[in-house]
Structure 1
Amino acid sequence: MPHITTNGVQLYVEDTGGDRPAVLFIAGLGYDEWFWAQSVAPYLRDDYRLVMPANRGAGRSDKPAGPYTTAQMAADMLGLLDALALEQVIVVGHSLGGFIAQELTLAAPNRVRKLVLAGTSFGGPQSIPPTPAALAVLMLDRTLDPMELIRRGLETAVAPAFLAAKPPMLDALIAYRLTTPVPPEAFQSQLMAGAAHDAADRIAAIGCPTLLVAGELDQVVPPGNVALLQAKLPQAESVVIPDAGHLFPIEKPQETATALADFFRR
């Protein structure tokens, strides 16, 4: 799939195409379409059209100078939907992608048929912040040795059992991080966009069917945020993926895909 120009940037997009129901997958901090292509996409591609962009600042998309905002990144996504002539989609956002998905849904509710907020919160001081260990990793000097950054990041991003088992997906994840680095300036711009996001007083306006998904052992966005989100969105359903951390789509792809598919079908 070629790059698509939207909102003044070129975004790289993988789109499985077809006339099946469309799902827009928005990745989190520093990730791109690989995150979804290597996790849930194989379980969903036969039944859904999967649209998987790299956000500004990540992957093969443009990396303009910051600052970025989640509202700006949501405008990127709306321009992408326009370019693809997609009037209404299911939106799935993970972590920072969940913040972007919130802004997209609030800005253009008529474009979002269903919403999945995965491993995310509504942001701001009313949400539960990362654990001290996870926060320390987020604040690391991004010019450190890449393997050191990866090692430190994995310690808080995935469940201990995933690291101990050393599955092939762990090797693939490490290889991806080594071959698809995010420039420090772009990482910082994405990080600050997430840090400034606060939809606590606005998120209750979301009226579409919503699913909240969390990893039981998430240190980056602790799963207690699900209850806080559900208090604002009482109509929302929730699923907690057991024995998984923040990267639960990577750690437990089949379980995550099953939760998504069950929600999509209803």
Structure 2
Amino acid sequence: MSDVCSFTARIDDVTLAYTDRGEGPVLLLLHGHAYDRSMWARQIEVFAELGWRVLAPDLRGFGASGITEGIVYTEEFADDVAGLLDHLGVPAAVVVGFSMSGQIAMELARRHPGRVRGLVVVDTVPEGEDRAGRRRRHTTADAILAGGMETYGRSVLGRMVADATVESCPGVAAEVLAMLRSAPAKGAAAAMRGRAERRDLSDVLRGLRVPVLVVVGADDVFDGGAGRRMADLAPDAQLVVIDEAGHTPSLEQPAAFDDALRAFLQRFTH
């Protein structure tokens, strides 16, 4: 990613860093928990070359963006994204949300109707947390603050990428671990607490009147059938399963991921 394409914007009470590359209809790429916008480096280049204006922010608390301590709710992240679109004069975008930001993207569609031309959700779930899940996320947030991102990153790496990726593409595993280790602990903990309190977004999918692409890594340990459920909920949705990929198919199998996204985006260019 060239530095010439990197910018910052003050959105309400936080400064967001973002990449803005290319010209054309807008493709908005949102990273997952404890990642940052660098996860989309390949896609930014590929789709800018294909005639898209690609926006990729560091979400509040991650990367080079400002940090809010305590708790950041999914709704706040969605409002940040809408604020960035306002700042840039972008009325609507095709939105790609990965893991945590899949939920942010769905919340964006709920809170800001009309801002989402198309929705791509990658290895996420639509449901909110039950009592045990909420407790587990708050416990994880406590552990992040107590033990730091080095310990957290190593503890979750095996769930972020498939075992086969670690063996055959150690560079990808190292890239994911580097993102996790470098994430601000206070930002990661605040987002984790917010995820504990998120709403059930199933009705958002049911009510969508835009095309939806659901992407799932075949070996994603978090999926549990969520990809199929989301594809069944949205009226105009398709499901793509990426073989030999775990939770992060855009990095583990980038060519297959890009092919799926490219095919979906053709619906918006004709």
TM category, shorter: 0.7 to 0.9
Tell me, in whole angstroms, the C-alpha distance in 2 between the residues paired with 1:78 and 1:251: 29
Distance 1:247-1:158 versus aligned 2 partners, 3 A rule: same
Q: How does 1:177-256 map to 2 (within 5 A)?
A: 177-178=180-181, 180-183=182-185, 185-197=186-198, 198-219=200-221, 221-256=222-257
Tell me, in whole angstroms, the C-alpha distance in 2 between the residues paired with 1:217 and 1:169: 16
Tell me the CA shift for residue 7 of structure 1. Answer: 2.8
- TM-score normalised per structure 1: 0.87
- TM-score normalised per structure 2: 0.86
SS at match of 2:143: coil
Flag the structure with higher helix content.
Answer: 2
SS at match of 1:73: helix
Tell me the CA shift for residue 121 of structure 1. Answer: 1.4
Aligned residue in 2 for 1:9 = 14
Aligned residue in 2 for 1:172 = 175
Q: How does 1:25-104 map to 2 (within 5 A)?
A: 25-37=29-41, 39-47=42-50, 48-104=52-108
Report the AA paired with residue 54 of structure 1: D
Distance 1:138-1:162 versus aligned 2 partners, 3 A rule: farther
Tell me the CA shift for residue 145 of structure 1. Answer: 6.4
Tell me the CA shift for residue 108 of structure 1. Answer: 2.1
Q: Which residue, out of 118, 138, 152, partners 2:155?
A: 152
Aligned partners of 1:123 and 1:195 also within 8 Å: no
SS at match of 1:101: helix
Tell me, in whole angstroms, the C-alpha distance in 1 between the residues paired with 2:171 and 2:253: 13
Q: Does 1:112 align with 2:84?
A: no
Aligned partners of 1:215 and 1:241 also within 8 Å: yes
Tell me, in whole angstroms, the C-alpha distance in 1 between the residues paired with 2:204 and 2:93: 21
Once the two structures are superposed, residues 194-243 of structure 1 have per-residue CA deviations (whole angstroms, 9 ceiling, x without a partner) of 22222123431221111111111111x31500121123213211101112
Aligned partners of 2:28 and 2:94 also within 8 Å: yes
Q: Which has the higher contact order (CA 8 A, sep 6+)?
A: 1
Which sections of structure 1, spanning at least 5 residues, go unmatched?
Answer: none
CA RMSD of aligned residues (A): 2.3
Identity of aligned residues (%): 29
The alignment covers a number of residue pairs equal to 255
SS at match of 2:187: helix
Tell me the CA shift for residue 58 of structure 1. Answer: 0.6
Tell me, in whole angstroms, the C-alpha distance in 1 between the residues paired with 2:230 and 2:175: 32
